[in-house]
């Protein structure tokens, strides 16, 4: 587990223990087009949206939060299907069939990324 992941996990745990308990709305992933991905945890807390944003690498092992919120499991499985990210102990195959294209939401890399 890298430092960033431990941080992510701790923050989310602290968030889930707040009172009144925040409701998890969604886990969003988005391609940054340079091999890293935005991972956004969206909560509904005291009548408004609170989000936690992280940047993860393609091959990071991300800790699943399915033990904090059971409903997060499906959201994580969807991200595995759509982007090919890895969550600890979660398997994909949620939406896609073996005959469907793999990681359909990955976008073409930026050309500039090569020079950097």
Partner 1 sequence: MREDAATRSPWILHFDTGSCNGCDLEVWALLTPRYDVERFGMVNKANPKHADILLITGPVTKKSEQRLINLYNQTPDPKLVIACGDCASNGVPFLDCYNVCMGVDKVIPVDLYVPGCSCRPEAIMDAVVKGIGMWKKKVEEADR
Partner 2 sequence: MSRTSVIPFGPQHAAFLEPFHLKLQVEEEVVVGAEMSFGYNHRGMEYAMAQDFKRTQFLCERVCGICSFHHSSAYVQTMERLFGIEAPERAKLVRMIMMEAQRLTSHLLALGHIAETVGYENMFMQFFREREEVMTLVNRISGGRVHYSMNAIGGIRKDVTYEGLKDIGETMDRLEPRLLDLRSIVRKDRTLRKRLIGVGVLSKEAAFDWCTVGPTSRGSGLPHDIRLTGFDGYGVNGVKFRPIYYDEGDCYARTMVRMDEVIQSVDLIRQGINLMRDGPFLNAVKGNPPAADAYGRVEAPRGELMYWVRGKNEVQLDRIKLRTPALVNVPAVSAMIKGARVADVGPITVSVDPCICCTDR
Q: Which residues would be at the binding site for partner 2 (CB under 8 A)? A: 21, 23-26, 28, 30-31, 40, 42, 44, 47-49, 69-75, 78, 82, 94-97, 100, 104-105
Candidate ranges 14-22, 46-54, 57-65, 100-108; the one touching partner 1 (CB under 8 A) = 100-108
SS3 content of the chain, % helix, strand, coil (to 5): 25, 30, 45
99 binds, among partner 1, partner 2, none (CB under 5 to 8 A by kind): partner 1
Reading the block at residue 106, the tokens are 């990955």
Candidate ranges 21-29, 43-51, 67-75, 98-106; the one touching partner 1 (CB under 8 A) = 98-106
State the maximum Cα–Cα separation within the chain, in Å, rounded to a whole number: 48
Backbone angles phi, psi at 42, to 5 degrees: -105, 130
Query: What is the separation, in whole angstroms, between the first and last Cα of the chain?
Result: 27
Backbone angles phi, psi at 67, to 5 degrees: -80, -20
The interface mask with partner 1, positions 68-97, x = CB under 8 A, is ----------------------------xx
17 binds, among partner 1, partner 2, none (CB under 5 to 8 A by kind): none
Residue pair 37/55 in contact by the 8 Å Cβ criterion: yes
Nearer to partner 2, 1 or 30 (CB): 30
């Amino acid at each position: 587990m890298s430092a960033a992941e431990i941080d992510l996990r701790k923050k989310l745990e602290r968030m889930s223990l707040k009172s009144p308990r925040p409701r998890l709305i969604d886990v969003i992933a988005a391609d940054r087009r340079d091999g890293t991905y935005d991972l956004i945890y969206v909560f509904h807390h005291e009548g408004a949206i609170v989000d936690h944003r992280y940047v993860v690498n393609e091959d990071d092992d991300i800790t699943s939060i399915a033990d904090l919120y059971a409903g997060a499991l499906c959201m994580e499985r969807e991200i595995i299907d759509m982007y090919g990210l890895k969550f600890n102990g979660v398997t994909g195959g949620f939406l896609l069939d073996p005959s469907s294209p793999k990681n359909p939401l990955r976008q073409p890399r930026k050309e500039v990324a090569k020079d950097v």
